[in-house]
């Protein structure tokens, strides 16, 4: 009898403990899944689940606020994800919030993160669709990290090769490091280059001062460049020079022209005399018999011809000289008027 009572008590205790544990478990699971509180659903559409499963956590601002209820494949590029959220956060998640798939740590479970928007929209209601954002796939990130490690390995190998060449004395840099004479020469070259740069800066500063002075009208060049009345002065000087040439050199030029005409007439007379000489007329008989007189006469004729040619050349040059050009043009116009 006593043994049956003990067994009954033990059974009662076991059943009671089981019921308590079952109740606590149900409460814990229900509280975690928000089975006994107010809930509402939001949706989002993603191109890739990246390992997201039903029941995975949903976080808002780093806090677990719900779980994934369903994941539905709509087509080959779109997945519909429905999340169940705690009603206590209903007023905090707004319509412009952004949903993205992430990792709980570096290699943890896949979760759905909800990031706050700009805060200007109304709170999201049951059944609203949130905008999704596709983050970088962790696998792709690890692959990229692996490629980066490979590149770093190659770079380190190249650096080791360069360091080995430097230690072995290959190339110009080791020569500069070990040859003190070349290092000193290189330093002197740098000093000379620095000095030349300083001189160049001074020269540029001087040129800048000169240009500024010229712009302000300082010096002869500045006066010539900035004097607005200079063209009028030059024109007045040219007119005065023309009148001076006409007044002062006009008689001289006229006299030279008359002299040239007389020389030309003398040449004609001498040419006529030579023709008479060739025909044996007049004094030709005497000149033919007196060789000395004939030679003198020939020299006189040659000198006259040379003088006439030189005079004509000088007159032609004076016609083309800028000092006498306007005078001759004026004379030509007066002659044309006189002929008309």
Output the 3-class SS for 125-182.
Answer: CCCCEEEEECCCCHHHHHHHHHHHHHHHHHHHHHHHHHHHHHHHCCCHHHHHHHCHHH
**pLDDT grade, residue 43 (50/70/90)?**
very high
Q: Which has the minimum average pLDDT: 11-15, 126-130, 199-203, 310-314?
A: 310-314
Query: Which band of pLDDT confidence, cut at 50, 70 and 90, is reported for residue 85?
Result: very high
Q: Which two tokens stand for residue 52?
A: 């997201």
Residue 89 to residue 245: CA distance in whole angstroms: 110
Q: Calculate the alpha carbon distances from 194 to 173, 181, 191, 200, 307 in Å.
A: 22, 20, 5, 10, 69
Q: How confident is the model at residue 172 (pLDDT cuts 50, 70, 90)?
A: low
User: What are the DSSP calls for 299-335, one per residue?
Assistant: HHHHHHHHHHHHHHHHHHHHHHSTTTHHHHHHHHHHH
pLDDT of residue 78: 92
Is pLDDT above 90 for 336?
no
Spatial distance between the Cα atoms of 178 and 172, rounded to a whole number of angstroms: 10
pLDDT at 285: 54
Nearest Cα to Cα of residue 260 among 336, 326, 339, 319: 319
Say if residues 32 and 74 touch (Cβ distance below 8 Å). no
Q: What integer is the mean pLDDT of 42-57? A: 91
Name the nearest CA neighbour of 66 among 91, 89, 99. Answer: 89
CA 24 and chain centroid, separation: 74
Q: Give the pLDDT score at 178.
A: 65
Mean pLDDT (whole number) for 142-157: 83
Closest CA to 68 of 111, 31, 38: 111
Closest by CA position to 266, among listed 300, 237, 232:
300
Q: What is the pTM of this model?
A: 0.37
pLDDT grade for 323, boundaries at 50, 70 and 90: low
Task: Write down the pLDDT at residue 258.
Answer: 76
What residue ranges do the domains of the chain occupy? 35-140, 156-216, 230-339
Q: How confident is the model at residue 75 (pLDDT cuts 50, 70, 90)?
A: very high
Determine the pLDDT at residue 42.
94
Give the contacts of 77 (CB within 8 A, at least 6 positions apart).
Answer: 47
Which range has the worst mean pLDDT, 7-16, 26-35, 294-303, 324-333?
26-35
Q: What share of the chain in percent tops pLDDT 70?
A: 66
Q: How confident is the model at residue 173 (pLDDT cuts 50, 70, 90)?
A: low
- 3-state DSSP call for residue 82? strand
Tell me the sheet residues that pair with 94. 123
The stretch 206-223 carries a mean pLDDT of 74
At 29, is the secondary structure helix, strand, or coil?
A: helix
Sign, CA torsion 112/116/118/124: positive
Q: Say whether 293 sits in a helix, a strand or coil.
A: helix
């Amino acid at each position: 009898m006593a043994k049956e009572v003990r067994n009954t008590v033990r059974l009662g205790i076991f059943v009671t403990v089981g019921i308590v544990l079952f109740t606590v478990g149900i409460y814990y699971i229900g509280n975690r899944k928000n089975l006994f509180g107010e809930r509402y659903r939001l949706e989002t559409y993603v191109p890739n689940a990246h390992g997201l499963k039903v029941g995975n956590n949903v976080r808002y601002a780093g806090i677990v606020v719900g779980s994934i209820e369903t994941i539905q494949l709509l087509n080959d590029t779109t997945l519909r994800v429905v999340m169940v959220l705690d009603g206590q956060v209903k007023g905090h998640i707004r319509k412009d919030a952004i949903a993205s798939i992430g990792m709980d740590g570096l290699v943890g479970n896949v979760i759905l993160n909800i990031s706050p928007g700009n805060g200007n929209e109304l709170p999201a209601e049951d059944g609203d669709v949130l905008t999704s954002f596709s983050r970088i796939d962790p696998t792709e990130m690890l692959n990229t990290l692996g490629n980066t490690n490979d590149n770093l390995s190659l770079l380190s190998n190249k650096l080791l090769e360069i360091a080995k060449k430097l230690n072995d004395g290959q190339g110009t840099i080791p020569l500069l490091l070990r040859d003190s004479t070349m290092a000193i020469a290189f330093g002197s070259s740098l000093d000379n280059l620095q000095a030349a740069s300083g001189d160049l800066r001074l020269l540029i500063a001087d040129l800048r001062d000169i240009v500024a002075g010229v712009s302000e009208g300082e010096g002869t060049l500045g006066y010539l460049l900035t004097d607005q009345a200079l063209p009028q002065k030059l024109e007045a000087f040219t007119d005065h020079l023309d009148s001076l040439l006409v007044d002062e050199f006009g008689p001289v030029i006229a006299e030279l022209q008359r002299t040239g005409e007389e020389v030309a007439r003398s040449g004609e007379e001498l040419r006529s005399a030579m023709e008479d000489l060739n025909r044996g007329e007049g004094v030709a008989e005497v000149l033919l018999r007196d060789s000395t007189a004939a030679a003198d006469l020939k020299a006189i004729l040659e000198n006259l011809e040379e003088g006439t040619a030189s005079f004509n050349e000088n007159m032609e040059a004076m016609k083309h000289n800028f000092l006498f050009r306007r005078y001759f043009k004026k004379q030509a116009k007066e002659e044309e008027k006189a002929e008309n």
